[in-house]
Structure formats: C-alpha cells, structure tokens
Structure 1
Amino acid sequence: MLVVGASGALGTLIAERLAERGARLVLHGRDPARLGASAGAATVAVDLTEADAPETIVDRAVEALGGLDAIVVAAGVVGFDGVAETAGRDLETMFTVNALAPMRIISVALPSLRDSAAEGNEPVVLTISGIVSELPTAGLASYSASKAALAAYVAAAGRELRRSGIRLVDARPGHTETGLADRPLFGTAPRFPHGHDPANVADRLVRAIEDGSTSLPPDAFTGA
C-alpha cells in the first residue's frame, strides 16, 4: 500500500493504523528525515511539485512491494485568500499538490491497480478532498477550488474504473486539528471552531478502506 503524504499529521496516523493491520507500506513525503523515522516501511522522499514526482512515487512503490493494491493520498497544502488576493498567490503549487499530482498518481498507478484486480484483489484509492470541495468557503477560494477539482476527478474516475474492479473513495471531513492551518502556503488562517480529532478521522478513513465505502461525505465524520 502506498501512502502519499505520510509525513503529515494525518498521513502518519493513517500509516500507523494500516501497519497495525499488517499492511506492507511505502511511505511518501517531502522530508526524508521525517520519513526515516518510520521503521519497517519503504520510503520515497519526493516533492510533489517536481515534474516527474508521480512516476517516481509509483515506480518506487511497485518496485518495493512487487505490485500495488492500494493508495492513500493524504498530502495537501492550504492557503487563505479572497478574490482580491488570488492573482498574487502561488496557485501553481496549490493546484499541483492538492489536485494535479494526485490525479497523475492515480493515472500512473492504473496498470498496477488493474493487475491487482486481475489477480482477484480489491484495489482501492482513497483521497481526502475535505468539506471545502462541496462547500466552498469564503477566504479559502483557491484552496476550495483545488480540492473541488480533486473530488470531481475521483468521482468521475470511480465511475469509469468500477468495472475494472478498482474502487475510488473520496473523503470530505470538516476541519481537522492537524496543524495544517498553522502552516499555510499563503495568507493567514481565520479563527476556526475546534475541529475533528485527527486520530478519529484516521480511524474512519481506514475503516472506509476495509468496508467497501465509495464516498465519505462530511456527515460520515460526525463525532470524529
């Protein structure tokens, strides 16, 4: 199983829970030092903004695992902007990390996922677009747009690949206390109400991998 963004708070929790269940993992992140602390798993340290990052990540995962049965995309960046500020913001990085790289990873991984399905497995791809993908939020204009792009792609791709035996799941939890809002790509975070517990969100995401879910709307995380 490939976990993209495994060095982030939520990605780390997801990886831990998958490892506890016996999954063989390849962990991706930008910081090799943080990935190096993950004992027992192969790692790949690549910045998602690099042109060949999707190919590099998938190729190393397939090499390490001998195939690929599942992908979790937990990588993301956030930025805070209103319409007046959007023109001066780093939209290229925002959209690359949040939408374009995940879309390309799914496409590059498709032959391996199809091979897994042909072997009788049930390959799955889980993405996390978040609540803003269906409820765009003022002050998070470009962030909402980048996540909505990912959600739309996964919804369409899921319908396209269903007959191939490949399941795509998009999760849309509300604000989660991962600390991401304190490290924005640009802008300053507004005052958010207290968000979901990341440990509970990770538990729900892993259950979705196991139970055959095809979508996790915001209300799937009630109480998380």
Structure 2
Amino acid sequence: MKHILITGASSGIGRELAIQASKLGYKLSLTGRNPDKLQRTQDSLTINTKHFSRSLCVTDQAALTDFIDSAKDKMGDFDILINCAGINTARGKGEEISIADLEWMMKINFCSPVQMMQLCLPSLKQAANQNGSATIVNVLSTVCLFANPGIAAYTASKAALDHYVKVMRKELRADNIKMLSVYPGGVDTEFRAAERPEYLTAAAVAKAILHTLDTDTNTHMHELVLRPQVEDNF
C-alpha cells in the first residue's frame, strides 16, 4: 500500500486528490491551513483509509518538519509527495504589486514546495530503493506556459517552481525519483471569486493526476497539461 503526502488537502484539487486516493487504497498524510476544512476532507475519506492529518501553514518550518517526521513514523516512508498548496492573492499589474505581496506569494508557491521536497526526499529515496521508484508531483498552472496581463506575481511564483523542478528532475533521475509537473488551466474551485462551471473540475484534475501516477517503474511522465475545452490562451 503506497503512502501519499498531500499539501493543500483542505480544499479544491488537494481535497479531491485525497478523496480519490483513499478510494484507490493509498495511505494518506494530509495537511492544510484550515482545520475545519481539513476535517471535512478527512470525513470524506473512504472508511478504513489509513491516514494522518495535521493543520498547519506550509511556511512554518518547525511545524512542517514535525508533521513530516510524525507522518513518516506513523505511516512509513513516502512513496509520493504532491505539492498542491498555493495562493493567488496579489492581482494587478506588475508595476503595482507590492514587494510584500510578491514575497508572500513566492514563499507559499515557490519556497514552501521546495522545502517540502527537501524534507521528504530522504524518505522518498528510501522508498525508491525498496520499490524501484518514488514520485514528486508539483501542481503548477498553465500560467507557466503563457503570459497574461494582471497576474505577474502569481505567474512568477509558479514559473520559479516550474524551472526549479526541471533542474531537480535531472538531478534526481539517478535516485529513481520521478518528477511530474502538472499544469491545470482554469479550474472551478473556491480558489476563484466567482463560479466558472465551464472550467475544469477539481475532481477531473485529481483523477488525471492519479491516473498518470499509475505507470510502470521505467516510465517517467514529466508533464501533464489540462485545459478546459473553452480555453484558448495557448
């Protein structure tokens, strides 16, 4: 039974990943900032799913380290890490965004996922030695693939992680660590201020990610791009 650690599991794509992974029989370690929402995720898991959850902010290094150590002690080594936590709180022209807002988005969308990978890699490498491979998934965005006005800060934070991962993919190949970068287009989640039913659903994105993980040891899927049929910014 493989063990998945999911950040951002309290809502949206992260919650759907947890729910669907539980139906597939994975062991789960889950974290999210909102304790009430994280509890609702836990309540939605399949009965008898082995899981460990803790509410925290991914920028809190001490809490994050303790969570990872506790999850490993209780559930065993991680086979899969999914970095799903993210924010888009600073919208506006590049010339208008405050440096404080930009730094916060970079901390959540770039620095924290990097830290998660660094903290989990000893366990992932151990799992890869035992099972032939382990996988890191980073949920990015199609903003990494084009430039749209008004979202310079969000684009920069996601693009920074995108390129960091491209380097790590080559560095970790010898350790049999697979690196999957996921680029969703518009997704209709509470992440958005208004409902967009014509966009992708969180459930559809989660299903595609989990399906992509179901490969043999020698198959390394690098990138997964998903766009709603109505989207044409590519």
Structures share a fold, TM > 0.5? yes
Corresponding residue number in structure 2 for 1:145: 156
Partner of 2:188: 177
Distance, in Å, in 2 between the alignment partners of 1:107 and 1:222 is: 36
Query: Distance between the aligned counterparts of 2:146 and 2:226, measured in 1?
Result: 10
The corresponding residue for 1:36 is: 39
Partner SS, residue 170 of structure 1 = strand
Q: Is the 8 A contact 1:54 1:101 kept in 2?
A: no
Aligned residue among 72, 78, 81 for 1:68? 78
With over 3 angstroms needed to count, the CA separation of the structure-2 counterparts of 1:86 and 1:25, relative to structure 1, is: same
AA paired with 1:24? K
Counterpart pick for 2:175 among 164, 167, 190: 164
- Alignment-derived partner of residue 82 in structure 1: 93
The answer for the alignment partner of 2:20 in structure 1 is: 17
- CA distance in 1 between partners of 2:79 and 2:137 (Å): 12
Secondary structure of the residue aligned to 1:180 is coil
Q: CA deviation at 1:121?
A: 4.0
For 2:166 and 2:67, how far apart are their aligned partners in 1?
Answer: 23
- Segment drifting more, 202-211 vs 46-55: 46-55
- Residue matched to 1:185: none
2:225 maps to 1:217: yes
Q: Secondary structure at the match of 2:192?
A: helix
Q: Which residue of 1 is the match for residue 199 of structure 2?
A: 195
Structure 2 unmatched runs, 5+ = 44-48
Q: What is the CA distance between 1:78 and its match in structure 2?
A: 0.7
Secondary structure of residue in 2 paired with 1:85: coil
Q: After superposition, where does 1:45-64 map in structure 2 within 5 Å? A: 45-64=55-74
Maintained 8 Å contact 1:69/1:121: no
Q: Can you list the C-alpha shifts for 1:45-98, whole angstroms capped at 9, x where unaligned?
A: 111222434423322221221211111111110131212321265122211111
Q: Is the 8 A contact 1:99 1:147 kept in 2?
A: yes
Cα RMSD between the aligned structures? Answer: 2.3
Alpha-carbon offset, residue 223 of structure 1: 8.9
Write out per-residue CA displacement over residues 135-166 of structure 1, whole angstroms, 9 at most, x where no aligned residue: 13210000000000111111111111011011
Q: In the TM superposition, what whole-angstrom CA distance separates every residue of 1:98-138 from its partner, at most 9, and x where no partner exists?
A: 11000111011111111111112421011111100121321
TM-score norm. by structure 1 comes to 0.88
8 Å CA contact 1:26, 1:64 repeated in 2? no
Contact 1:54–1:104 at 8 Å: present in 2 too? no
Q: Letter of the 1:161 partner, please give it.
A: L
TM-aligned CA deviation for residue 206 of structure 1: 0.8
Q: 1:167 is matched by which residue type in structure 2?
A: K
Find runs of 4+ consecutive structure 1 residues off by over 4 angstroms.
221-224
Report how far residue 218 of structure 1 moved: 4.2
Q: Match for 2:211: what amino acid?
A: R
Determine the C-alpha separation between the residues in 1 that align with 2:189 and 2:159.
20
Question: Which runs of structure 2 are paired with 1:116-127 in the superposition (5 Å)?
Answer: 116-127=127-138
- 5+ unaligned residues in a row in structure 1: which ranges? 183-188
Structure 2 residue corresponding to 1:27, chosen from 14, 25, 30:
30
